[in-house]
A and B are shown apart, each in its own frame.
Chain A
Amino acid sequence: MSKNKTIYDHFMKRWHTLTDKKYFWPLFMITGISFCTAASTFEFIDLYLQLILIYVGINIILTVSLNLINGYMGEFSVGHAGFMAVGAYVASLLTVHVFPTGAQNLLFPLAILAGGLAAALVGFLVAIPSFKTRGDYLAIVTLAFCMIVKSVLENIDAIGGPRGLLGMGKLTTLPWVFFWTALSVWIIRNLVYSNFGRGVLSIREDEIASDLMSVNTRQVKIIAFVVSSFFAGIAGGLFAHALQFINPRMFDIIKSTDILIMVYLGGIASIAGSVIGAIIYTILLEVLRPLGVWRMVFMPLMLVLLMIYRPRGIMGLKEARMFMPLRDFVTEKLWRQKKKEAGDATP
């Protein structure tokens, strides 16, 4: 490393001092939302780009929430699309059939929230078999669950069955997507760096040892599954109202595979990685659109090459400073200071 500081270094230093501030996340939220509101009202970002940004946001929510289970907890869940389907259907049923048409805009967040809660309830049910089964068998449980959800949705004629459900207004706007995305990233970040999050990590490293260290593994697993599926449900609700049409086939195993790819492309156990993975995957798919069918040939090829040369993904197990809470820096600084005072030379 050269000692000459570039503009980039100066900028990063400023950025880090900003992200370390306590008011960073509220500030980030407010600026982002106001920018997005301005963008969608004055349309200085054209509609196509806005749509892509909406999909990027939804994919970030999905990826970050799946990373909680697959990356931080070290399980292999392949049924994320199932939770998404539950959220999408509950939210759309509420806006189409329950809420009065006049107040849809106001009640939209409630619908999304209800979708998230319904998905969380289902996530709670899936968490129960995870007490005993692990690894590939848990993967099968989540896979079977995903297929059951799809099959149930196909068999209820009142919600359209295999034909799907339509009639949702275009309620998913850029500000809302930004709000939910930032919220989910913020909550999962805080969760991971909390006491509970340490429990999640300890389950990944060694479940028996963490049990012996009095981590309540059952409780931790339940909370992780509930939180993860809650956000998957929210992403589903947003997805349904962005597309204005859903059918059960959208939420099959291929969708789950998509989310898995975004998680592992970005890197496990890293929120920054999830965000980057979701952005790269979504935007690359759009950029390569002129290639037609061949883009779906190149994407997996790139994924395979990335996995061979960088098996942990882009950001595997590393984290951008923005997604680490302030508290950690304070404690780390205190710890270093104490060490210095104690005269310990080793870092």
Chain B
Amino acid sequence: MAYIFQQILNALQLGSIYALIALGYTMVYGILTMINFAHGDLFMVGAFFCFLLAVYLHLSFVPTLLLSMIGVAFLGVVIERLAYKPLRNAPRVSAIITALGVGLFLENFTLALSPYPKHIPQLLENTTWIVGSLSISSLQILIIVLSLALMVILDFIVQHTKAGMAMRAISWDKTVVPLMGVPVNKIISVTFAIGTGLGGAAGVMYGLAYPVIDPYMGIMVGWKAFICAVVGGIGNIRGAMIGGFILGAVEIMVGAFFPSTYRDFVAFTLLLILLIVRPYGILGKPQPQKV
């Protein structure tokens, strides 16, 4: 029984990281109907920022987290301005390919600068509490609580602020909203900043939880987070959170009860079954095609 609770805790930890990354995919998709495939690599850049700040500047946890988030958010906005903005009216696929290209660029640029995997130092004192036969580490609790807090803040921003209202409006109707005096470019930049900033936070947490980082770590995690976003219904923010926790739970539970090499197989088969049963994700609404 304790084993299962232990795994649930692990699942929450992994799931919250997935959910944070998936939020970036889903926010960008909601507002631009474009899949930002560079997002997984921005997550990786977040982990590397964390490494740089912690090793060379000897910062403690909170400034590292904040500076990494700001750095990645800035990078995300710059990428949007330079690479995606010229393609806003181009065919959708060229924007996707550009995103893939930007992702490859980030990976290989990081690889060229730091060819070896890096080890992130322990930024926080990690105490482990033993409850019965259950061992709970403070890091795990911190990751779960922090990402839940970030999600609550995001939900607040999207639902209750003016910028959030503009975001929802743009994802609702792209042609009318600019006529109402909404500064579309600014809102898109804000969306990118928030989405990629969350990705950067996820990178820092991932780096703390699994301390060895390398330039290619963003690919697999990024695609998986994308899957979370789709499972929840892409474009739907609460759906992305649910999708993240579902995929985290599935991966950890499969790893707990089967050989760990079956993890991807079972996870993706479940995904396929889910997409066949609900082709628009859990919270996504089927969009009837108009003729």
Q: A residues near B, CB below 8 A?
A: 70, 76, 129, 132-133, 136-137, 139-141, 143-145, 147-148, 150-152, 154-155, 162, 208-209, 253-254, 257, 260-261, 264, 268, 293-294, 296-297, 299-301, 303-304, 307-308, 311-313
Contacts and interface: CB of A to CB of B under 8 A. Distances in A.
B285 to A, nearest CB: 13
Contact of A311 (B90, B223, B264, B271): B90
Which 6 A-B residue pairings sit nearest by Cβ, starting from the closest? A311-B90, A300-B104, A296-B108, A311-B94, A151-B265, A300-B105
B86 interface: yes
B109 A304 contact: no
A70 B91 CA distance: 13
Interface stretch (B43-51, B62-70, B169-177, B273-281): B273-281
Nearest to A212: B291
B227 A137 contact: no
B230 A147 contact: no
Contact of A148 (B101, B259, B268, B280): B268
Nearest to B227: A140
A304 B230 CA distance: 25
Residue of B100, B111, B219, B291 contacting most chain A CB atoms (<10 Å): B100
A147 B90 CA distance: 30
18 contacts: A76-B96, A129-B276, A140-B230, A141-B275, A253-B220, A253-B223, A257-B100, A293-B108, A296-B104, A297-B105, A299-B104, A300-B101, A304-B102, A307-B90, A307-B94, A308-B98, A311-B87, A311-B91
Interface of chain A, helix or strand or loop or mixed? helix
B262 A155 contact: yes
A340 B90 CA distance: 38
A260 B97 contact: yes
B117 interface: no
Nearest to B102: A304
Contact of A155 (B95, B108, B261): B261
B145 interface: no
A303 B87 contact: no
B112 A140 contact: no
Nearest to A147: B268
A144 B112 contact: no
A260 B265 CA distance: 24
Contacts of A147: 223, 264, 268
Most buried by B among A151, A261, A299, A307: A307
Contacts of B100: 257, 260-261, 300
Contact of B86 (A268, A303, A308): A308
Contacts of B279: 132-133, 137
Contacts of B112: 293-294, 296-297
Contacts of B109: 297
For this complex, into which size category does the number of interface residues on chain B fall?
35 or more
A304 B289 contact: no
Interface in B255-274: 259, 261-262, 264-265, 268-269, 271-272
B230 A137 contact: yes
Contacts of B275: 129, 133, 137, 140-141, 144
B272 A145 contact: yes
B75 interface: no
Contact of A296 (B35, B97, B111): B111
Nearest to B29: A136
B93 interface: yes
A264 B94 CA distance: 8
Given A136-B230, A154-B261, A264-B93, A144 B271 contact: yes
Contacts of A260: 97, 100
A253 B102 contact: no
A154 B266 CA distance: 13
Contacts of A76: 93, 96
A139 B92 CA distance: 14
B91 A312 contact: yes
B268 A304 contact: no
B124 to A, nearest CB: 33
B83 interface: yes
B198 interface: no
Contacts of A257: 100, 104
Given A129-B272, A145-B272, A307 B234 contact: no
B178 interface: no
Contacts of A293: 108, 111-112, 115
